[in-house]
Amino acid sequence: MEEIDKVYLFTLGNSAVGKTSFILRYTKNTFNNEYISTVGIDFLTKNALLPNGEKYKVFFYDTAGQEKFLSIALNLMKGAEGILLIYDVTKRNTFEAITGWVESIKEQKGENFPVVLIGNKCDLNEEREVDKEEGENEAKKNGFLFFETSSKDGTNVEEATIALISKVIELKKNQNTEKDDTDQNTKKSYKLNAKKIKKKRHSCCLK
């Protein structure tokens, strides 16, 4: 059986922004109008097919947005390879909270970590409190990918997720390439030093 590489993604954002609905739409193509609060952390999986034909098993860790679960989310974030940072376009306070979430991400994962900023519930345009341009500017400021999505009708859910997975894979491949280059340089340096030592010993023997 062919082994599929794994990718670990986390959701972050305030309570009730639609984190669970987003993951359920992507993994199971379902939507539930009733709000069910995530307690602590939950996870789902799905085999993802990238545009280039590569397959990956994606683990989605769905974190609770309530403050009392924040320490759990931040601790488990250490294992994340990419983050879906979600706010609700109909609730400005969830967008304003993005600053705090970004600080937590940078503290845990550093500056250049794969993140997609998601303005969810874009189907509720008449209730909108956050313009798309504001989300785009926030993402650009932090070097994040950006999508507006609707877990209800599926708008951009697949596109946002695949974009993040692709970014994670690109970063992992670059890191592996850098590691291979470092290993090759180390081997070359070792061989060169070994030759110098051998030559020095040979010179000593001739005296």
pLDDT over 50 (residue 189): yes
d(Cα 61, Cα 44) in Å, to the nearest integer?
7
Question: Which pLDDT score is estimated for 163?
Answer: 97
Q: Residue 145's pLDDT is what?
A: 98
Instruction: Pick the more confident residue, 9 or 196.
Output: 9
Lowest mean pLDDT among 21-25, 57-61, 177-181: 177-181
Q: Would 194 be classed as within a structural domain? A: no
Cα separation of 29 and 186, whole Å? 48
> Is 83 a domain residue?
yes
Does some domain include residue 188? no
In this structure, what CATH number is given to the domain that contains residue 14? Answer: 3.40.50.300
Q: Is residue 190 part of a domain?
A: no
Note the pLDDT tens digit of each residue in 42-94: 788 999 999 989 999 999 988 765 555 566 667 777 889 999 999 999 999 99
In the structure encoding, which two tokens stand for residue 61, read together? 């860790």
Is the pLDDT reported for residue 3 higher than 90?
A: no
The strand pairing partners of 44, in sequence order, are 60
In a domain, 85, yes or no: yes
Does 193 reside within a domain? no
Does a structural domain hold residue 205? Answer: no
Sheet holding 82-88, edge to edge: 41-49, 55-63, 5-12, 82-88, 115-120, 145-148
Q: What is the pLDDT of residue 174?
A: 87
- The number of domains in the chain is 1
Owning domain of residue 152: 5-174
Instruction: Give the global pTM.
Output: 0.80
- Span 6-35, mean pLDDT? 89
**pLDDT, mean of residues 158-182:** 83
Residue 115, in any domain of the structure: yes
What's residue 181's pLDDT?
47
Contacts of 7 (CB under 8 A, 6+ apart): 48, 56, 57, 58, 59, 81, 82, 165, 168, 169
